[in-house]
Structure 1
């Protein structure tokens, strides 16, 4: 466990503009499918170093936090959510009444000789229309008009009139467009699209977190490889000094110095490659975290093993079927296809509408009149339009069948992927055990060869020591690779199961504005 230092990362300083509550992160409560030892301290509340040369030590929890707060792909996904929520609101307002008020006023003057007539008109109207779940539409229109007319002739005639008109109409489809299921289908499709959008957001965050963790471990691997290279170089330099001493004492041939110097040179070349690999790994991590590229990031943890609590395929498959975003989206596509087929079949029906209307005219200068009527309207498409409607039904039906096949294929692929992940983890565990044993034996072999050389055992050559040291370096790197591969496969298993957010206790605000 790494100790905290005064110059280590403060996440709030990096993501100060993004703390709108869109993604809540609680590292202290993080869940896992693995059993971990003592919880490593999070360094989220410490300040970033001002100097470029200072190291910024990150825990894996810090990396997850920075990824979900800073990554541009996640920011874009949340911007998409603003439009997506608006689309859902519009779709759900299909049965909300529409009100259209209108008001107008005008004035005019007519002159005939010395006679002037002033006329003023005012009109106010309102229309309310509303759809109902059965497919019918109710419309109410009201209009009121007033007129004032004044004449300055000898007769001095003033005329005022007030009239109003009320119209009620109701239209109910009996074939095409009839039924609650048909008329609510657009709402259900919009809600399915919303669920799919949320799953897409979840998938984006899961993939980003997974990628960030893998890049963090790549940095960790590069750091450890650099340490291995530094140790190898130090050992080669010590061996060179020992060889020189042996040559001066007459115990070794001068040619051995050349071999030792060549070994030092090779170690320096390897170390240069390790340093370059470390810089590349650091740059890759900075890229996905979207932070200052001048920060000298350091992985503040050690590559320790985590033992999985359970690798039972049937149990993990059930977890994946409930949480995997790709499988859940496949289910949503099938449900959407069912509604698409329902609407296509409805559009292929004939039109038969029931129409009912009522109107009332009244005023202070006219008799009240009313009108009540009812009727049926029938229409049917023939020719090309009819063929297009049939073809659309066939297309939607085939699409539904394809989504059913795709769903089954997705389930089978998910089952295979879960089993592959489990197998990879089991193989990795075995690799770690073997690599650790091989490294221990290589260390022992190297010490034996070095001791034999020191004691001057007959038949011992410097090249044997150098070869055993080469094998030790390779053994250490193989063990490191096995451990990192194992940890990455655990992370990929969490990604496949769809539990990455639960693992790191990241919550998504789907209503972020």
Structure 2
């Protein structure tokens, strides 16, 4: 009596009753994922969790069981790319303050002393034929730059002078003055737009950093989804490979028994041995692939705090499912063009280039600066009396003037203007190219979703037919109408069909994720509310 053959058909059916992720141990019954309800703690994922996600994934021994939502939550809280990118808006915010500080008021102060002795040819000027003098100066004031380009200052100064000169009527004397000065460019560097250009550029750079941060978060979520589904496939694949190896070994054992009793040719053992060796190699490769993809996901989630924790095993609790998604190419394209952060970033780059072009066009003009000053002055024997005379307008000075400067050829200003004009043209071209790339990306993503939907239908049919063919081949083999080679080939066909079906399901879920990335609907799909990174950086202790 022929030994009982382990049916690959029953194995195929079992793999669709039990979760395909259970490759590392005995399979467990498939439990449908609990629906997300209003009471669910992960119905909405909020970014404001600087150290850990709000829900802790299940850790058992050296295993970390993760759903896709939990993986995304961990990535939002711990991913290094998000943490690093979240610092940039805060840096750009400081740069805005730095540019605004150009118009801050400044307090100035100066103290100096001077003493001299010089020979004089006349005793009428100084006694003893030598003139000696000492002078101490103290000044304090405020200066400020205005948004029109003007620079103003208000300075109070007191000078004490002591001399043996016979010409001085007051000795020592205190000379106090209060001076107001203004210098206003009239052509080059004139105007609010020109002088606030750096502030506006810095503000736009801050807006860009927020958009880049948003784009980085979506990119990380997409990478987590891709890595998660790749791991799901690898674990399913190794289950298929191990079962395929088990069946090959069973056939080899059964063939050996038949050869020993003389009912089968010895060549059949060689065929089975070769198949076992090949399938063992496939299992080894599949095991390495699982570990590689586990590490890729660990890196994205940053779940390993030290070297030893890299040995933690990640077990996906979600399986690749087919949830039909209705996609409309035109609607998806319009959503992408409306929401994409990189496209908004390109628009801002155009505005920054326009600001710089306007500033450099203004700076083609020659320098024509108006300067004026007015001061009160008073001199007396004491500091207090000098202040009284100064405040009583006993002495005053008014000054005014114009200065003009035009570099011959004006090459530097012209070169800057041409550079700004070319940068604006480049920004416009970059925007048009990006818009075209987004349209192409969305069309490709929509096409992939539709293609993978059809692949699922095709691979399911192929798997069903392969299982039926194997069942028929097993029946023929039992009655001697088929060879072990035929059975092995059909076993491999079923294994490939199962792998292809899982691959199609995984690819479909990855395509849906990529479509969300292309259309910027990832946040909506995961119900994520993204916080302002300037209010707290992930991983930063308060």
The TM tier, using the shorter chain, reads 0.7 to 0.9
Kindly report the root-mean-square deviation, in angstroms, between the aligned alpha carbons of the 2 structures: 3.3
- C-alpha separation between the residues in 1 aligned to 2:404 and 2:344? 43
Match of 2:44 among 22, 29, 34: 29
Q: Are residues 362 and 314 of structure 1, via their aligned partners in 2, closer, same or farther at CA, if it must alter by over 3 Å?
A: farther
Aligned residue among 366, 378, 384 for 2:404: 378
Kindly indicate whether residue 474 of structure 2 is the aligned counterpart of residue 450 of structure 1.
yes
3-state SS of paired residue (2:533):
coil
State TM-score, norm by structure 1: 0.79
1:327-360 alpha-carbon deviations (Å, 9 max, x no partner): 2222122111111111111111022223221111
For residues 397 and 269 of structure 1, the distance between their equivalents in structure 2, rounded to whole angstroms, comes to 62
Q: Which runs of 5+ in 2 are unaligned?
A: 1-17, 20-40, 47-52, 116-132, 164-169, 538-542
Residue of structure 2 in register with 1:484 after alignment: 506
Q: 2:323 aligns with which of 306, 321, 327?
A: 306
In the alignment, which of 326, 351, 363 is matched to residue 342 of structure 2?
Answer: 326
State the alpha-carbon separation in 2 of the partners of residues 171 and 269 from structure 1.
83
Contact 2:59 2:65 in 1 (8 A): no
**What is the CA distance between 1:147 and its match in structure 2?**
8.6
**Which residue is 1:228 aligned to?**
240
Cα deviation per residue 1:364-409 (whole Å; 9 max; x = unaligned)?
Answer: 44553112233333322213xx123223222222221222122112
Pick aligned residue for 2:68 from 60, 65, 71 = 60
1:491 deviates by: 1.7
- 2:148/2:195 contact within 8 Å kept: yes
Residue in structure 2 matched with residue 402 of structure 1 by the alignment: 426
Structure 2 equivalent of residue 44 of structure 1: 55
Question: Matched residue of 1:165: which SS?
Answer: strand
Summarize the alignment of residues 281-360 of structure 1 with structure 2, pairs less than 5 Å apart. Answer: 281-290=293-302, 291=304, 292-308=309-325, 310-360=326-376
Q: Could you report, residue by residue, the CA deviation over 1:307-338 in whole angstroms, capped at 9, with x for unpaired residues?
A: 22x42222222222233232222212211111
Q: Matched residue of 1:349: which SS?
A: coil
**1:170/1:356 contact within 8 Å kept:** yes
Residue 143, structure 1, aligned to residue 157, structure 2: yes
- Residues 84, 239 of structure 1: CA spacing in aligned structure 2 closer, same or farther, 3 A cutoff? same
* Contact 2:45 2:73 (C-alpha < 8 Å) held by counterparts: no
From the superposition, tell whether residues 370 and 43 of structure 1 become closer, same or farther in structure 2 (CA, over 3 Å). closer
Q: Per-residue deviation at 1:72?
A: 3.1
Contact 1:30 1:503 survives alignment (8 Å): no
1:235 CA displacement: 2.8
Structure 2 length-normalised TM: 0.75
What is the aligned partner in structure 1 of residue 281 from structure 2? 269
Instruction: Answer whether contact 1:134 1:183 (CA < 8 A) is retained.
Output: yes
- Could you say which residue in structure 1 is the equivalent of 2:395? 369
- Alpha-carbon separation, structure 1, partners of 2:191 and 2:156: 29
- Please list, as runs of the form range in 1=range in 2, the aligned pairs for 1:469-508 lying within 5 A after superposition: 469-504=491-526, 505=528, 507-508=530-531
Give the conservation status (yes or no) of the 8 Å contact 2:93–2:206: yes
Give how far 1:431 is off.
0.9
Distance 1:47 1:443 in 2: 36
Structure 2 contact 251–484 (Cα < 8 Å) conserved = no
* Residues 1:216 and 2:235 are matched in the alignment: no
Write the distance in 2 (CA, Å) between the matches of 1:231 and 1:239. 12
Offset, 1:140: 1.3
1:413 aligned to 437, 441, 444, which one? 437
Structure 2: distance between partners of 1:95 and 1:431: 64
> Aligned partners of 2:158, 2:301: CA distance in 1, in Å?
65
- Give unpaired runs (5+ residues) of structure 1: 3-25, 32-41, 108-118, 150-157
Query: How far off is 1:97 after superposition?
Result: 1.9
Alignment equivalent of 1:197, drawn from 194, 198, 209 = 209
Change (3 A) 1:162 1:510: farther
Change (3 A) 1:43 1:510: closer
How far apart are residue 288 of structure 1 and its match? 3.0
C-alpha deviation, 1:123, in angstroms: 6.2
Shift of the 287–510 alpha-carbon distance from structure 1 to 2, 3 Å rule, reads: closer
**Cα deviation per residue 1:109-128 (whole Å; 9 max; x = unaligned)?**
xxxxxxxxxx9998653322
User: Per-residue CA shift, 1:422-465, capped at 9, x if unaligned?
Assistant: 111111111111011111111111112112322x1x63222221
Q: Deviations over 1:166-201 (max 9, x none)?
A: 111122222112222222211111111112222233
Deviates more, 1:169-178 or 1:231-240: 231-240
1:133 maps to 147
Quote the Cα distance in structure 2 between the aligned partners of 1:105 and 1:398: 55
User: The residue matched to 1:141 in structure 2 has which SS?
Assistant: strand
- Alignment match of 1:436 (pick from 452, 460, 477): 460
Mapped partners of 2:192, 2:378: distance in 1: 38
Q: Which is further off, 440-449 or 494-503?
A: 494-503
Q: Give the superposition deviation at 1:207.
A: 2.5
In 2, are the aligned partners of 1:345 and 1:393 still within 8 Å (CA)?
Answer: yes
Partners of 1:449 and 1:465 within 8 A in 2: yes
- Secondary structure of the 1:311 match is coil
CA contact (8 A) 2:144 2:153 kept: yes
1:173 aligned to which of 137, 162, 185: 185
Once the two structures are overlaid, the 10-residue window that deviates more, 410-419 or 495-504, is: 495-504
User: Judging changes above 3 Å, is the alpha-carbon distance between structure 1 residues 123 and 374 closer, same or farther for their aligned structure 2 residues?
Assistant: closer
Corresponding residue for 2:533?
510
Which residue is equivalent to 1:86?
Answer: 94
Aligned mates of 1:486, 1:450 — CA distance in 2: 33
